Amino acid sequence: MRFFLIFLSLIYFCITTFAAETRPGKYPEHWWEPVPKEGAPSWEILPQEAGPGEVILSKRNELGLLSNFADTPFEFEHKRYPSLEGFWQMMKYPESPKDPRAKFPGIEWRYTRDQVSQMIGFEAKDAGSLGSLNMEKMGINWVSYEGRRMTYRTSEKGAHYDLILRASWEKIRQNPDVRRILLSTGDLILRPDHKQGADTPPAWKYHEIYMAIRRELQEKPLP
C-alpha cells in the first residue's frame, strides 16, 4: 500500500510539473495555485487539475468573473440583469398567469420570474433547481423567453444556445474588466470549475462559449 501511494504521488508530481513547464510565462501563476482537496465542494474542479495548456475558470480568483454566477450586470433587450445565472434560471419560471406552467395543477412556484432574474450566484442556482424540479413534475423539457418556447436539454445548438450566446456577448461588451480577463487567457483552453457530464448540452458549456467569443475578439477587437 505504501509503495502504491508513493507511486501515485510521483505520477501527480510529474503531471503537475509538466503542466507548469508547458505554461507560457505570460500567464499569472496563481491561476494554477494548488488548493487543498479537503474541505473543497464535491462539485468543484480545482485550479491545479488543469492539464497542459488549460486553465480552470475558478471562482477562487479573477477568472471567476467568467462564471455565470458572477456579479456582472448587463442590459439585454431593455432589461437589466445582475448576472447570467439569474437570466438563465428565470426562463424556467412562468412568464405570466396565462403561462401553462403557472396553471399546472399541484405546482408551487416559490419565486416569481422577475425575482429570479435579479438573483446572482448560488441563490439563482438554487431557485433554478426548484424550477427544474417543477419541470420534471410537469414532464416538460422547455424554457421560455419573450413567449418563445425553447428546448432546454438538447445536444443541438438551438434557440436556447443562441440566446445564451447573445447574452454572454452582452456581458462581455458591457463589462470591460470581464473582457480584459477573457482576453488575458490568450490561447489557453478554458475549462469549467464544476463537473460536467459527457452529455452536457452545448448551451451549458460556458467555457466553450467564451472561447468562441475570445476567438472573435482576438480577430476583431471591440472599439
Burial class of residue 60, CB neighbours in 10 A (0-12, 13-18, 19+): middle
* pLDDT at residue 23, rounded to an integer: 54
List of E strands, the chain? 54-56, 74-76, 79-81, 142-145, 148-151, 189-191
Single pTM value for the model: 0.86
Per-residue pLDDT of the chain (223 residues; tens, 9 = 90+): 544 434 444 444 444 444 444 455 789 999 999 999 999 999 999 999 999 999 999 999 999 999 999 999 999 999 999 999 999 999 999 999 999 999 999 999 999 999 999 999 999 999 999 999 999 999 999 999 999 999 999 999 999 999 999 999 999 999 999 999 999 999 999 999 999 988 999 999 999 999 999 999 999 998 8
How many helices (H) and strands (E) in the chain? 8, 6
What are the angstrom distances between the C-alpha of 145 and each of 73, 94, 151?
Answer: 19, 10, 11
Could you give the dihedral angle defined by the CA atoms of residues 79, 142, 68 and 210, in that order, rounded to the nearest 10 degrees?
-100
User: Residues 141, 135: contact at Cβ < 8 Å?
Assistant: yes
Residue boundaries of the structural domains of the chain: 75-156
